[in-house]
Structure 1
Amino acid sequence: MRRKIPSNTALLAFEAAARHGSFARAADELSLTEGAISRQIGRLEQFLGVALFQRVGNRVRLAPSGARYAVQVREILERLERDSLYLMGQPIDGASIDIAALPTFASRWLIPRLKRFKNLHPHITVHIAERMEPFVLAGSGFDAAIHFEHPAWTGMHCHPLLEEILVPVCSPALLATSAGMSLDALPLLHRRQNPDAWQDYAQAAGIGLANPAVGPRYDLHAMLIEAALAGLGVALVPRLYIEAELRQGRLVAPWPDGHTISKRFCLVLPEPVALSAAALQAFAQWLLEEARASRP
């Protein structure tokens, strides 16, 4: 059965006219005459059986139905253009994979290691997008996800990677101003998504904190790390994100790790590694080996 879809020319003319609120400006943008824009929109209205514009003399304005349709058409055209540009940018003789990852894990652990994968597989392009929350992998446009273990991944194939062991860290200069190494004498920095982290850590470590909820809050671990480097307070962050800063002495961690409040990162695949497409299979095997090599 033939699809009931308007012509691309008519949709482009309508979207431009709706965005500008003017047939003349739409004509300038599309390098057409104003009459051509008017005819295309007239054909679209005839095709739909709905008036998209209200015409008053020489002036036009969107009808309520036209305003709603303009939003939908604009989203579809933008998505079509985005997907087309994505395909145009693919290597002719290579492959590409799309990975969803937690943002700080991607920037602090994964991306610094990707050069090694590129050296092994120069024909594979890895695209990375951030996703803070678990999601349905099927139909998402992603080939795999790197996230925490979560019930949302039920039915998927989850491969353990690394433990997110939290450790309190601060700048050496801040520690020098405190009375010994007492956490209670230092400002605490919080991650907004985990407001009870300091309280849970203090109970597990047997450390007394007068008010573990006081202090500024940040969205990402990356922000917490930068705040700690700036001397704003003590941040409770995953040790695997700050290995370089600890080696360089830019951050210090004189307090015990929070092993009891740790979580596990995992690689989520829609099917077993052995059945995955060749590019995804190569990336998954490399990632699992990198994770094994990084474990203490």
Structure 2
Amino acid sequence: MRRHIPSTRALLVFDAVARQHGVSRAAEELCLTHSAVSQQLRLLESQIGVRLVQRSARGTTLTEAGRRYHGQISGDLIRLQDHTLEAMARRTDGLRLIVGAVPVLAEGWLLPRLPGFTALQPGCSLHLQVFPTLRYMEDLPFDVGVQYDDAVWPGAHTQPLMAEACVAVCAPGGRGRAEMARGDFRAAPLLQLRSRLGAWEEWFAQAPAAMQPPENLIAGHRFDLFSMLVEAVRADLGVGLVPRYYVERALRSGELALACEHEAPSRRGYSVFVPPQRAADPLVQAFIDWVCELPTA
């Protein structure tokens, strides 16, 4: 079956003309002559049977069809470049390890410790990527994963890594800090993580001496990411409930403060995931051995 795909050269020329708003500047960017750029445009228009550019004494502009087509192929060209660079990174002249991780654990716990692993494996190029949470994917592109215990990775071997404990944090000079330190949260604005709307209810259930707000415990400002929630705490929008490891450095530096001393074990924990085809890889095993020996605090 014939594929209706223009040459990459023609598409790159058209992309440059669209971005540079003219043939002359596109030719300069691409180090081509004006006539070579014009020729590629004509070839592209001839192949797809649609006029993409409007030529006039004032210069060259995109037609409506040209604007629509450029909007569609510009992202494809970027993805094609990314795929090519990714393939180049797979060359056999070096070691590479792709680690998929839940962002909160990667940012707050794993990344600060990674220099220890790279010191043990100086020839390894480590690629840290987002491991989607609670989403089914047929073929995850990771050599090893660090995720919540209930992450979905069909066929992968799992090894428990660590449990999670959550603390309530506030701005150092935050409103109501003195009351919260005594366990009085009745006037505290509770910040919510959208994926954990029941977290405050669980936390208060484990802190029977704490006085909770009279309103619904899932009311209040909501955020998609822990990083957003912590920034909201810094801005004194309210008090946030976060994994202890994620804010440990900010607590030590005084950027954040414990709203009270209570620390509640979470129902969530973390595990290491390894697909069967990577289980025997020495580099993968070296990473598993290293990460499982790290302190959890």
Alignment deviations for residues 41-90 of structure 1 (CA, whole Å, 9 cap, x no partner):
222233x3422425465565445554444234322321233344456678
Distance change in 2, residues 1:4/1:144 (3 Å): farther
Say if 1:137 and 1:270, in contact at 8 Å, map to a contact too.
Answer: no
Equivalent of residue 200 in structure 1, options 199, 202, 209: 202
Determine if contact 2:94/2:123 at 8 Å carries over to the other structure.
yes
Q: CA deviation at 1:151?
A: 5.8
Residues 53 and 66 of structure 2 are in contact (CA less than 8 Å); yes or no, is this contact kept in structure 1?
no
Partner in structure 1 of residue 178 of structure 2: 177
Does 2:239 correspond to 1:234?
yes
What residue in structure 2 maps to residue 287 of structure 1? 291
Deviation of 1:37 after TM superposition, in Å, equals 1.1
The answer to whether the aligner puts 1:222 opposite 2:237 as a matched pair is no
Aligned residues: 290
User: What aligned pairs does 1:129-144 form with structure 2 within 5 A after superposition?
Assistant: 129-131=129-131, 133-135=133-135, 141-144=141-144
CA gap 1:19/1:141 in 2 versus in 1, 3 angstroms: farther
Equivalent residue, structure 2, for 1:42: 42
Residue 140 of structure 1, CA deviation: 5.3
- The alignment's TM-score, normalised by the length of structure 2, stands at 0.78
List aligned pairs for 1:96-135, cutoff 5 A: 96-131=96-131, 133-135=133-135
Listed as ranges, the gaps of 5+ residues in structure 2 are none
1:265 positional shift: 1.7
Check conservation: 1:157, 1:270, Cα contact below 8 A. yes
Aligned-partner residue type, residue 49 of structure 2: V
Amino acid at match of 2:267: S
Q: Is there any run of 5+ residues in structure 1 with no aligned partner, and where?
A: none
1:264 counterpart residue number: 269
Per-residue Cα deviation, 1:16-60 (whole angstroms, up to 9, x for no partner): 1233442233223212222211111222233x3422425465565
2:15 equivalent to 1:15: yes
Structure 1 residue 182, shift from structure 2 partner: 1.6
Q: TM-score, normalised by structure 1?
A: 0.78
> Residues 22 and 60 of structure 2 are in contact (CA less than 8 Å); yes or no, is this contact kept in structure 1?
yes
- Cα pair distance change 1:273/1:55, threshold 3 Å: closer
Does structure 2 conserve the Cα–Cα contact (< 8 Å) formed by 1:156 and 1:270?
yes
Asked whether the 8 Å contact 1:134–1:147 carries over to 2, the reply is: no
| Partner secondary structure for residue 96 of structure 1 | strand
Which residue type is aligned with residue 252 of structure 1?
L
Go from structure 1 to structure 2 and tell me whether the alpha carbon gap of 1:24 and 1:113 turns closer, same or farther (over 3 Å shift): same
Where 2:17 maps in the other structure, the secondary structure is helix
CA RMSD of aligned residues (A): 3.5
